[in-house]
Amino acid sequence: MLPYAGCKFAVSRVYNNWFSMSCSSQKTQAHDVSETEQTILFSSQSSHPSLQYSPNPNLSPCLYQCTATLKGNSFYVSSLTVDGDSLYIASSDGHIRLWPLDMAMDAQRAELSSSTVAGTNSSIKCVIATGNGLVSSHQDGKIRVWHAPRRNGSCGHLALRAVLPTAVDCLLTFLFPGNYVEVRRHRKRTWVHHVDAVTALALSPDGAEMYSVSWDRSLKVWRLPSLRCAQSVSAAHGDAINAVAVSADGHVFTGSADGTVKAWRRGPGQRKLALVGTMERHKAVVNALAVGVGGTVLYSGACDRSVVVWEYCAGGGMAAAAATIRGHTKAVLCLAAAGDVVCSGSADRTVRVWRRGAAEAGYTCLAVLDGHAGAVKSLALVRKSGGDHDDGPCDGCCSAAHVCNGSLDCDVKIWRVTISCLRVPSCVCT
């Protein structure tokens, strides 16, 4: 774990150098793409089929603007999540801050400061919303569950509800020698414990389960609301696991530093997750996963500067990679998807907004969002229907995407991106 510097630019510089060294050790293909290029290149480096890109003449110009920049963090922003009308910002100093989205999206009120609603003594790696609170994962191998009491319709300070694994889990597993697994040479821990940083979290579609992954290479399943650990796959990958995502039909996906993405699912009548497929396309560390397009498309981002599009049949096996989206000049560190839009954040300090074309024609880069002084480490995406024309409100032919991105420069930026309907060429909103 790197020592924290008082200057945010010192932190940014250290981590940017780390990303450069980490990715340069991987064998990647050189595909330099101009920052101004508005289309993408599809890879044909393997036998997997690729989508064919064809420009869509009906796609109106995309308008976007940065509505706010939240400053004041002394440590880099590690994770973002949206819960209702609130944006939660987790940072490497172990604190969680709250920023009301209506203020963030309103240029007139965006300068109002956020408030700190929770704090721990361990760096936060990931934070997710559960509907009635938050769950955060930490560098110390712990998972913390927070309750969000609401007063007068707004959320105040978070109350710590539990630390996972719970004392009950620890006690029940501690008593039986068969519950211990070897985590390092001559060292054992019970199977309910993560023994390294917990890097990512995800909820099942029905909210009954939570999945956690770690640098210790394990995937764990937690029952909600009992908070009991129901399953642990101790060697889910051959290297550290960096990301986890869940599809609408219950597939659990994990992305690892071993360069692979794995799919997990329960078989008929089975109580435990089982491996159903290993997807290999990236040539470097997989950093991020996101599910989009109605839960039938998986996106994976990696240190090879690409985003791979995986299409699969709901309820069936995994399909081959459909396409590779290229455009970033450095490692892809984070992803966020909603509908036919996917955003990618990179060590090149930019966020790219991609949109799936009509009739699965391909992906187009709608916008390149820049302005950060450090790598973009976290993303949150909110889609809202309707926009504004010059002569009045939009009649529903377009939508607004609010892109929230956090960086190693310790800042959070909010962007409003107007996305017009593919079938309405005359619609240009502001």
For residues 160 and 146, give the distance between their C-alpha atoms in angstroms, rounded to a whole number: 5
Q: Comparing 74 with 347, which gets the higher pLDDT?
A: 347
For residues 20 and 24, give the distance between their C-alpha atoms in angstroms, rounded to a whole number: 6
Residue 72 lies in a domain: no
pLDDT in the model for residue 105: 63
**Strand, coil or helix: 256:** strand
Residue 417 lies in a domain: no
What does the block give as tokens for 369?
């969002």
Residue 36 lies in a domain: no
Q: What is the CATH number of the domain that holds 81?
A: 2.130.10.10
Residue 276 lies in a domain: yes
Q: Residue 178: which pLDDT band, with cuts at 50, 70 and 90?
A: low
pLDDT in the model for residue 268: 86
DSSP track, 291-357: EETTTTEEEEEETTSEEEEEEE-TTSPEEEEEEEEE--SS-EEEEEEETTEEEEEETTS-EEEEEEP
Residue 37 lies in a domain: no
pLDDT in the model for residue 114: 67
Residue 45 lies in a domain: no
Residue 40 lies in a domain: no
> Structure pTM?
0.81
How many folded domains does the chain comprise?
A: 1
Residue 174 lies in a domain: yes
| Residue 11 in this model has a pLDDT that exceeds 50 | no
Q: Could you tell me the residue range of the domain that residue 215 belongs to?
A: 77-382
| Residue 69 in this model has a pLDDT that exceeds 50 | yes
Q: What is the pLDDT of residues 231-271, one digit of tens each?
A: 999 999 999 999 999 998 889 999 999 999 999 999 888 99
Q: Yes or no: say if 230 and 215 are a contact pair by the CB < 8 Å rule.
A: no
Residue 292: half-sphere exposure toward Cβ, Cα within 13 Å: 23
Mean pLDDT for the stretch of residues 356-367: 78
For residues 21 and 1, give the distance between their C-alpha atoms in angstroms, rounded to a whole number: 16
